[in-house]
Amino acid sequence: MNAHKIVCKSHLLKLLWTSGRSDRIKRLHGVCGRAPFSSCSPKVCIVGAGPAGFYTAQHLIKSRQDVEVDIYERLPVPFGLVRFGVAPDHPEVKNVINTFTQTAQHSRCSFYGNVNVGTDVSVKELQQAYHAVVLSYGAEGNRRMGVPGEDLAGVHAAKDFVGWYNGLPDNRKLHPDLSCETAVILGQGNVALDVARILLSPMDMLKKTDITQPALDLLAESRIRRVLIVGRRGPMQIACTIKEVREMVNLPDTRPEMVAADFKGIAEAVKEVPRPRKRLTELLLKTALDVPTEKEQEKRSKASRVWGFRFFRSPVEVLPAPDLSRAAAIRLAVNRLEGSGEGASAVPTGEVEDVPCGLVISSIGYKSLPIDPLLPFDSRKAIVPNTMGRVQKTAGVYCSGWLKTGPTGVIGTTMNNSFDTARALLEDMDSGALDVSSAKPGSQGVTPLLEKRGVKPVEFSDWEKIDNEEIKRGVAMGKPREKLLSVDEMLHVART
């Protein structure tokens, strides 16, 4: 682990901090002098220390030698969904943390954890202290199904379930009940597949990951043996990607169970589509319909757990147990497809179907929330209205990541999205649309306010103490890390 870190550090240091030849040629001279650390150096504040925040910071710092960037984060720990969203059994996806660490350790970047923008400091106060503010705080809320019974015990949003097994402090008291036989997941994106995979993975696979110990303990007692992943439309509209489907197909001690009728006409339709959709659909077809090889047949006959996609079904009600205390079944409307391809829509047929289950996970999308009433917010799309990352009607405020485009896309998508916003910001500095000619105090204008309000920020070196403690605890458990689960505990370690 250490060798890996050292290797990456030197590589990425080179990768990041070489000024791009093309950028240099394109850059106009700014109004402000170029001397670093002059009182005139442009100061940018970023709200949110997830991938969007870090990629925006990275691009800004790399592109101009005088820009100083401060990243504010609500939690004491950085990295957002890379830490709390990416599945524990996908550690390679978390390699981007090395890049983010490089950025945070740069002399022109500072991390301020444990600061809640909106309650500890207002966006207006940030605008006064900085030349520009970039909102990158992602999507903390959930899209609700909007059906009766949604608030029964046994029903959870995927975001909360994922937060629970990934150690998000707000979700540590979730205590999902895993004593039922069947779990139904609504939604067929990668998050839904992550949930299914964590529910069905053998313990000896999970226990070597950074999944939290309480989650591991609960999953070890789980009686869930069947997971259905339900979508409104058909196999050719499924939102997940092929890697995740392949992981389900290859998951030890499990067998797939699909409905052949769901695949009517698919083998024909798949011939005309682009390669990514084609390969994914062919894998689904093969899994659902093909006669298995002898080896696969043996695996299936021995499997103790079952998973399957169910198509053309929308939730209409979560039905309670006789004592009304918890979910006991989900009522699904049967749909038919109108149109074809990515734009096809689900139309109810009038038929319904009840599926007995004890755990319902709704994985139909995260949702951004407004943090300041003075900022524009599009409640319909749940994003901050913007053009190329420039927040509408609000000079000097930008946005990047899911807050800008909506809560879909992998880390790579967010990276491009954030680079975009950084470019827009840099353009505005160069053109004078963003006035950087007068000095701004930056964090010196904010930390006194925080102090007055009894808020003590966590610095990046404090996070490193938390990081080391988690790794140390992980060694004892045979895991890459054992995450601290509460803000109090994090602050305690940070302050020691």
Partner 1 sequence: MALVTATRRLVHVTLRESSRRAAVISAASLPTQSRATCLQRGFTTSTQPLRSDNKVTVHFINRDGEKITVKGSPGDSLLDVVIDQDLDFDGFGACEGTLACSTCHLIFEEEVYKQLGPVTDEEMDMLDLAYGLTDTSRLGCQICLTKSLEGMVARVPESVSDIRQSGDGSS
Give the binding site for partner 1 (CB under 8 A): 1, 3-4, 6-8, 10-11, 14-15, 18-22, 55, 59, 89-93, 95-96, 98-99, 205, 208-209, 241-243, 246-247, 275-276, 279-280, 387-388, 410-413, 415-417, 419-420, 423, 433
Q: How far is the CB of 167 from partner 1 (least distance, A)?
A: 18
Question: Nearer to partner 1 by C-beta: 96 or 199?
Answer: 96
Residues 6+ apart with CB under 8 A from 77: 83, 113, 458, 463, 466, 490
Question: Nearer to partner 1 by C-beta: 22 or 293?
Answer: 22
In 150-193, DSSP assigns E strands to: 155-157, 182-186
Residue 409 in marked binding region: yes
d(CA 20, CA 400): 22
Torsion of the alpha carbons at 406, 407, 412 and 418, rounded to the nearest 10? 40
Q: How far is the CB of 178 from partner 1 (least distance, A)?
A: 23
Torsion of the alpha carbons at 464, 465, 469 and 474, rounded to the nearest 10? 0
Residue 493 in marked binding region: no
Question: Nearer to partner 1 by C-beta: 309 or 419?
Answer: 419
Distance of CA 398 to the CA centre of its chain: 20
Q: How far is the CB of 12 from partner 1 (least distance, A)?
A: 8
Q: What share of the chain is helix, strand, coil (3-state, %, to 5)?
A: 40, 20, 40
DSSP conformation letters of 296-324: HHHHHHH-SEEEEEE-SEEEEEEEEPTTS
Question: Nearer to partner 1 by C-beta: 25 or 291?
Answer: 25
Question: Nearer to partner 1 by C-beta: 89 or 125?
Answer: 89
Q: How far is the CB of 388 from partner 1 (least distance, A)?
A: 6
Instruction: Return the number of other C-beta atoms located less than 10 Å from residue 200's C-beta.
Output: 24
Question: Nearer to partner 1 by C-beta: 14 or 29?
Answer: 14
Count Cα neighbours of 113 within 13 Å in the Cβ-side half-sphere.
22
d(CA 135, CA 52): 9
Residue 402 in marked binding region: yes
Q: How far is the CB of 334 from partner 1 (least distance, A)?
A: 31
The two tokens of residue 352 are: 């319904």
Residue 233 in marked binding region: yes
Q: How far is the CB of 165 from partner 1 (least distance, A)?
A: 16
Helical (H) or strand (E) element with 243: helix 242-249
d(CA 44, CA 101): 18
Annotated binding residues for FAD, as ranges?
Answer: 52, 73, 81, 117, 402, 409-411
Numbered residues of the known binding site for NADP(+): 188-191, 232-233, 244, 409
